[in-house]
């Protein structure tokens, strides 16, 4: 059956039922654009410095444009915390700045607590909305039966053909979608499907007391997943948008180092299962609470584009200096590891800082979104030294870089 010919269609191989959602055309508000522009240019700590008054004035301007948005307080608290931590690492000369930043952080926390938020206004300003063309999304989370039909195995902890598949990573979910001709919904599509035309905390209203009619969560799940479609659907006919298992959407951008999952799960409190809540994780993470919901584009209609795919400018990572400290390696092994790292994308400006009684120290600059520890471990594996311990430690003011200790076991 042609998916574009009906509001519903059933996938023959997996048995999953998809609903056609109408999409929506919206543009970003001025406050959302200003907030996005500010965060992209000012969350680079090297450029922000310790100008507390400038930060205070900028966030005050954002709050004037969007007085009901709690996210501006969260963002300012995070930025101040990161600056205070950097000041702490730089030693006694920066202690006055650290204390000033922490004082301002406490002030913002008090302001946030005193904020009276209207739920409807907060929901409509959660994030800038993309224009969403019509698309198909599964009426339920991907079931274990559908997963086994395509992948041949069942990694789930809680077994049951009609239960949602869990114990899968984001990469596993992508593999399933690729083999089946599906895709993961982007976050804007997922939230649009979850809200089902509402601006309330949940897709059915604001009352946590009614959540048990629509979702499996900590209050009624019995500490396990349940069969899909066992609760009432939302206005779009979609089941389990809240609870049962967390759902992976697609990455915001292809280069994003972290992923988000949405909707809450069987072991979460009601407040975690709301339409706007999002939690982050790594792409390889698995758990008996992580699943997904496939989506599908209509023929000839592309999904909404994120900044990385629409030609908009995306901030590139800032170069970071690292001091690689080797313990227990021979000179030959160290040279081999350094050669492997130089082959890795993102490394430059190598400098041998000499050797002490225990450590051989190399200084390098690294530009990339992946954690430095992961890149070093990959280089060690290529040189048959996979059993080594690698950990990033505190800022080294003498070498003006972060220490990365590499210890041979």
Cα 190 to its chain centre, rounded Å, is 14
What CA–CA distance (Å, rounded) separates 188 from 131?
9
Predicted local confidence at residue 314, as pLDDT:
38
- From CA 377, how far away is CA 401, in angstroms rounded? 19
Contact assessment for residue 160 and residue 334, using Cβ atoms and an 8 Å cutoff:
no
> Which residues, including other chains, have CB under 8 Å from residue 96's CB and lie 6 or more apart?
none
Cα–Cα distance, 166 to 248 (Å, whole number): 11
The closest of 399, 400, 409 to 326, measured between CA atoms, is 409
Burial of 118: CB neighbours in 10 Å, binned 0-12, 13-18, 19+: exposed
CA 373 to chain centre: 19
Predicted local distance difference test score (pLDDT) of residue 45: 47
Rounded to whole angstroms, how far apart are CA atoms 230 and 217? 13
Whole-number Å distance between alpha carbons of 316 and 198: 36
**Pairing relationship of beta strands 246-247 and 290-291 according to DSSP bridges:** parallel
Structure tokens at 51: 């100008």
Query: In this structure, are strands 359-366 and 320-327 parallel, antiparallel, or unpaired?
Result: antiparallel
Structure tokens at 112: 């946030």
Domain 1-27+129-315, what architecture? Answer: Alpha-Beta Complex (3.90)
- Number of neighbouring beta carbons within 10 Å of residue 396: 18
Tokens of 47: 């450029």
In the chain, domain spans: 1-27+129-315, 30-124, 320-407
Asked whether the domain spanning 320-407 has the same topology as the one spanning 1-27+129-315, the reply is: no
- Its pTM stands at 0.55
**Burial class of residue 5, CB neighbours in 10 A (0-12, 13-18, 19+):** exposed
Looking at residue 104, its pLDDT comes to 87
Pairing of strands 320-327, 17-21: unpaired
Which pLDDT belongs to residue 233? Answer: 95
The Cα–Cα gap between 168 and 248 comes to: 10
Strand partners, 401: 396
Block means of pLDDT (10 residues each) for the chain, 409 residues, are: 57 89 61 47 48 75 64 76 78 77 87 62 44 89 95 94 95 91 89 87 91 96 96 95 95 64 94 86 85 85 50 46 80 81 70 60 68 80 82 66 79
Paired tokens of 168: 């899968």
CA distances in angstroms from 22 to 134, 184, 195, 310, listed in the order given: 5, 17, 13, 22
- Output the pLDDT for position 282: 72
Q: Contact, 244 vs 307, CB < 8 A?
A: no
Element (H, E) at 331: helix 331-343
234-259 burial: b if 16+ Cβ within 10 Å, else e: bebebbbbbbbbbbbbbbbeeebeeb
CB-neighbour burial class of residue 402 (10 A; exposed 0-12, middle 13-18, buried 19+): middle
Gap between the Cα atoms of 107 and 105, Å rounded: 5
| Torsion of the alpha carbons at 265, 268, 270 and 276, rounded to the nearest 10 | -60
What is the dotted CATH code of the domain comprising 320-407? 3.30.1360
Nearest Cα to Cα of residue 78 among 53, 42, 54: 42
pLDDT value, residue 294: 96
Length of the chain: 409
């Amino acid at each position: 059956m042609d998916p574009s010919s009906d509001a519903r269609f059933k996938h023959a191989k997996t048995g999953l039922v998809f609903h056609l959602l109408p999409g929506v055309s919206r543009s970003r508000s001025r406050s959302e654009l200003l907030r996005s522009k500010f965060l992209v240019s000012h969350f680079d700590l090297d450029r922000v410095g310790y100008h507390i008054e400038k930060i205070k004035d900028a966030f005050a301007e954002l709050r004037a444009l969007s007085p009901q948005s709690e996210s501006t307080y969260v963002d300012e608290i995070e930025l101040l915390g990161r600056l205070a931590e950097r000041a702490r690492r730089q030693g006694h000369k920066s202690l006055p700045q650290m204390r000033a930043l922490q004082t301002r952080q406490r002030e913002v926390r008090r302001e946030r607590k005193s904020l009276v938020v209207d739920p409807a206004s907060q929901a409509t300003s959660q994030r800038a909305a993309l224009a969403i063309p019509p698309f198909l999304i599964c009426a339920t989370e991907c079931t274990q039966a559908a997963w086994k039909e395509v992948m041949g195995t069942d990694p789930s902890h809680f077994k049951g053909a009609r239960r949602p598949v869990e114990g899968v990573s984001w990469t596993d979910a992508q593999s399933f979608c690729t083999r089946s001709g599906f895709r993961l919904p982007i976050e804007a599509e997922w939230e649009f499907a979850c809200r089902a035309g509402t601006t309330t905390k949940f897709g059915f209203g604001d009352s946590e007391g009614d959540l048990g009619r629509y979702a499996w969560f900590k209050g009624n799940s019995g500490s396990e997943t349940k069969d899909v479609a066992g609760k009432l659907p939302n206005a779009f006919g979609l089941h389990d948008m809240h609870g049962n298992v967390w759902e992976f959407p697609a990455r915001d951008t292809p280069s994003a180092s972290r992923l988000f999952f949405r909707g809450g799960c069987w072991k979460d409190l009601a407040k975690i299962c709301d339409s706007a809540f999002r939690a982050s994780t790594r792409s390889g993470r698995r758990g008996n609470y992580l699943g997904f919901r496939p989506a599908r584009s209509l023929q000839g209609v592309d999904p909404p584009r994120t900044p990385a795919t629409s030609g908009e400018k995306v901030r590139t990572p800032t170069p970071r200096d690292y001091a690689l400290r080797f313990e227990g390696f021979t000179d030959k092994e160290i040279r081999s590891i350094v050669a492997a790292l130089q082959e890795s994308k993102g490394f430059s400006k190598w400098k041998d800082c000499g050797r002490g009684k225990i450590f051989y120290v190399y200084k390098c600059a690294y530009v990339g979104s992946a954690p430095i520890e992961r890149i070093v471990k990959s280089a060690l594996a290529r040189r048959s030294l996979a059993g080594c311990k690698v950990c990033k430690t505190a800022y080294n003011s003498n070498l003006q870089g972060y220490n990365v200790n590499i210890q041979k076991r």
